Structure 1
Amino acid sequence: MTFAALQPLADRAALFTALRQDSLVTALEDLGENRWDADMAAGTLTFTSNADPSRRLTTRAHLIATIAPGPRSLLWAWAHPQGDPDGVAGQLRDYGTAHGIAELSQSELPFPDDASGDSEWITAAAHTVGGVAVELTGRAPYYSAPVGGGTSAVFLLDAPIPPLTVSAAAIALPRILAGTVLADARTAVWDAARLAGWNLTWADEAFSGATVADESGSAAFRFDEQARITNIESSLHPQS
């Protein structure tokens, strides 16, 4: 556990987040071994192939937060010297103010007393922050970048990757679910549909199943009493 008050928001978006992160990984794999460079003035993050520098992926990058081991704190981008007080990160602040979540509305968030603050903990915290940012802004994927001294910067990316369709999700889900722990899979499916813009229909008043659909096809989920996914059946349309 990193920031307990933030975790439920990240959990709600966990499935959508994992699917969008998978799309980013696929795009970066096409570059092979690569490096990243940030241009804070231009607001971009560029990934460049090591083997062929002419091959690159450039994306609009919105700084969300930095997480630093020195002060043992998270600093939200709207309060960061290189951040934008009226930028995308401000949506998290405004949500925190509206819903009484101090961890979002105060500029700097100290690490919990029991936090190790080591690189592994900071990496986990960055993933939590990334998930929260996806949930509250609808933007994805995110990228956690080491910026020196053990500090990580979390960016939301307007990346040139295809929109998330039901068809693409259904193909990726077996792999995604094998490596992703969903605190509440039923809620995560509902939220993925909301964030992706799919239609969702519940199977019954007990919410024992749900079908999501868009122009690419449909996928039917079944859940057990603990809201875990027990089965997925998809019907996908041929892609031209």
Structure 2
Amino acid sequence: MPKITALTDLLDDAALFSLEHQLHLVDVLGEHNWHVDLQAPRFDFVGERTLTCERFHLLGSAAPGPGSWMWAWANPSGFPEELTRLSAEVRAHGERLGIPELANAEVPFAALPGNPQHPAQVAFLLTEAAKVLGGRWTSYTGEVGGGTRVACLIEHPEFTLPAPEPARTMRVIQQAVAELPLSDHRRALAGYAARRGLGQQTTPDGGLVLTGPGFELGVEFDDRGLVARTSLTAQPGPHAR
């Protein structure tokens, strides 16, 4: 994997693999309500599906009043250590990598890439970084009063991604390029391919070819290194659709 030197590297590394997990979460849950008891601890979804997460990890919260994010390990509310352990691991990684946004207890909104102003945006950015360092890829954020947004990483067997599928892979790439704050498209795609178990090969003209079960996906970049064109080819065989 490429070297990590800044928060933006982690955001690129997380982007596509995280997006696919969030799309899968929507598929699993459908319409739903959520409830979390941080002292039990217990995290439940109720709606089209009733599902209790076997484990979850409290990362932190973004509050509009002070305009800052506070990591769970630093929160004075005294949450169970099992809930905040992963946030402390992120802190240790942040100290090792020299990334203050991950190492400091409290992070002003203005210190983050893109100068986000809304708590949901802030929670998204720092949760994405935590996914890479914590190795958990499904997240959930929600309002807990006064506009404050709490962020968790959640675990359940049903959140495991199915095998790569051509249309979904194309959707993930196109949606990520269109909607996510990517700094380095090539890095983001290469990281996704590696984590998703896709083959990847650089073409003579500097493009990228990703291969999965029954498909081949070509990516062309412009002179700024941005994705300019994608093409999908289904391969003959039992996996083709």
* Length-normalised TM-score, structure 2: 0.78
Letter in 1 for 2:168: A
Select 1:74's aligned residue among 46, 56, 69: 69
The answer for the alignment partner of 2:46 in structure 1 is: 48
1:22 aligned partner: 23
Matched-pair contact (CA < 8 Å) for 1:166–1:218: no
Contact 1:65 1:155 in 2 (8 A): yes
Counterpart in the other structure of 2:230: 231
Q: Matched residue of 2:81: which SS?
A: coil
| TM-score, scaled to structure 1 | 0.78
Deviations 1:47-66 (A, max 9, x none): 101xx7xx402212211111
Give the match for residue 192 of structure 2.
192
1:172 to 168, 171, 176: 168
Query: Structure 1 residue 18: deviation in Å?
Result: 1.2
Q: Tell me the percent identity.
A: 27
Q: In structure 1, what is the equivalent of residue 3 of structure 2?
A: none
Distance, in Å, in 1 between the alignment partners of 2:137 and 2:39 is 21
- Which residue number in structure 1 is paired with residue 86 of structure 2? 88
Query: For this pair of structures, how many residues does the alignment match?
Result: 220
Structure 1 distance, partners of 2:43, 2:206, is: 41
Letter in 2 for 1:110: P
* Separation in 2, partners of 1:229, 1:64: 35
Is contact 2:22–2:138 with CA below 8 Å preserved after alignment? yes
Residue matched to 1:208: 207
Q: Does 1:130 align with 2:124?
A: no
Q: Report the Cα distance in structure 2 between the residues aligned to 1:116 and 1:109, rounded to whole angstroms.
A: 12
- Unpaired segments ≥5 residues, structure 2: 1-5
Match of 2:217 in 1: 220
Pairing 1:101–2:99 present: yes
DSSP 3-state at the match of 1:24: helix
| Cα deviation 1:63-86 (Å, max 9, x = unaligned) | 111111223221111222326386
Q: Distance in 2 between matches of 1:19 and 1:162?
A: 10
**2:210 partner amino acid:** T
Q: Cα RMSD over matched residues?
A: 2.8
1:10 is matched with 11
| Structure 1 gap segments, 5+ residues each | none
Residue 156 of structure 1 is matched in structure 2 by: 153
Q: Secondary structure at the match of 2:110?
A: coil
Change over 3 Å in CA distance of 1:203–1:99 after alignment to 2: same
User: 1:6 is aligned with what amino acid?
Assistant: L
Shift of 1:207: 4.2
Residues 220 and 174 (structure 1), Cα distance of their counterparts in 2 relative to 1, 3 Å cut: closer
Structure 1 Cα separation of the partners of residues 227 and 115 of structure 2: 29
What's the CA shift string for 1:3-45, capped at 9, x where partnerless? xx6344223321111111100111121xx3x210112234432
